[in-house]
Structure 1
Amino acid sequence: MKLEFRKIIFSALILMITTTVPTALAGTGIELSKSQTIYVPVYSNVFSGPKVLPFNLAVMLSIRNVDIKNSITFISIDYYDNDGILLKKYLEKPLELKPLASNHIYIKESNESGGFGANFIVRWKSTNEINAPIIESIMIGARSGQGISFVSQGRVISENRE
């Protein structure tokens, strides 16, 4: 009887481990890449109040090389407006970031050209497979003692296989 009870307990433990560990670890795997295209939503303004008034926001695009050993090269950082029209190319030549280095692009609060649906398209590459960079936009605005700030994460839209 004791041996049978131990088998049942052992079987239950195996079942618990095999069903909960993959779920608990899902999304924690490190994904390596050599080249990606990233879409980053930004908001030149948001609408507020009952009259749907635009509330202008400053935008900062933050790019961070989170790889400890390898440099990363940003090929292009392009800014598009609400209608998908290219407003500005921010890189005249590729930008290399050393391991754990970061850089940013700042758009003033008074610059309304992007509109509500503005975005950046960021392309990067590396000679080795590396930890993909963290690319996000930070929006902030203040008016009459009121302030707003929030962050948008970049999203991979193309895994470039070279």
Structure 2
Amino acid sequence: MMSFRVALICLSLGLLSACAIQTPATSPASPLSAQERFGDRPGVTVLAATPAAAVQGQTLYVPVYSEIFDSEANRTFQLTVTLSLRNSDRRQPITITTLDYYNSGGDRLVTYLDAPIQLAPLASTEVVVDRTNTAGGVGANFVVTWQSAAPVSAPVIEAVMISTASQQGLSFVSPARIIEELQP
């Protein structure tokens, strides 16, 4: 644990995040139900079942980086990942049926949905992987499946990675890639 004197020096210099002792987690976040995770978010409805009459949809692969290499191959820099899910359609909702997080080895670490969620027109939501959670590794990714009961403009699904320490900052965006189109 950090001593009070070191903490006071860091605080007075405005460097508390840089001086904090960091112990990266090696396991994914504890499982929450879709209702617990998304139930109170505006524009998001947790559904009892997946709507049957889908006319449009896709499965998307979103590369994310919970850590990246920093100056040498055996040294990594941890990042916070925000997966942003945005319904860009102004009239119709979309339904997210799959939202899974995988590590560099292709192992599913977290299934975020035990029930589908519906995003209202122009609504958005997110999932955050804390920077101390390095279980995903440098090749982590999300697989997201969405569908709609009417033709819609494709949602905007992308990941934002960020980390700041002291006066250093790093951020970048990674867009989703279509890996499968829904065949109604």
For normalisation by structure 2, the TM-score amounts to: 0.68
Equivalent in the alignment of 1:76: 98
User: After TM superposition, which residue ranges in structure 1, 4 or more long, deviate above 2 angstroms?
Assistant: none
Looking at secondary structure, tell me which structure has more helix per residue.
1
**CA distance in 1 between partners of 2:163 and 2:147 (Å):** 33
**DSSP 3-state at the match of 1:77:** strand
Please state how far the C-alpha of 1:158 moved relative to its aligned partner. Answer: 0.4
Of stretches 63-72 and 49-58 in structure 1, the one that deviates more from structure 2 is 49-58
Q: Deviations over 1:75-106 (max 9, x none)?
A: 01000000000000011110000000000001
**CA distance in 1 between partners of 2:59 and 2:72 (Å):** 38
Residue 151 (structure 2) pairs with residue 129 (structure 1): yes
From 59, 62, 84, the counterpart of 1:62:
84
Aligned residue identity for 2:86:
R
Aligned residue identity for 2:130:
K
**DSSP 3-state at the match of 2:131:** coil
**DSSP 3-state at the match of 2:104:** coil
Runs of at least 5 residues in structure 1 that lack an aligned partner in the other structure = 1-32
Runs of at least 5 residues in structure 2 that lack an aligned partner in the other structure = 1-54
Of stretches 76-85 and 142-151 in structure 1, the one that deviates more from structure 2 is 142-151
Please state how far the C-alpha of 1:51 moved relative to its aligned partner. Answer: 6.0
CA RMSD of aligned residues (A): 1.2
Looking at secondary structure, tell me which structure has more strand per residue.
1
Please give the residue correspondences for 1:10-159 in structure 2 after superposition, counting only pairs within 5 Å. Answer: 34-50=56-72, 52-159=74-181
Percent pairwise identity: 45
Equivalent in the alignment of 1:28: none
Aligned residue identity for 1:45:
E
Alignment length (residue pairs): 130
For normalisation by structure 1, the TM-score amounts to: 0.77
Aligned residue identity for 2:167:
G
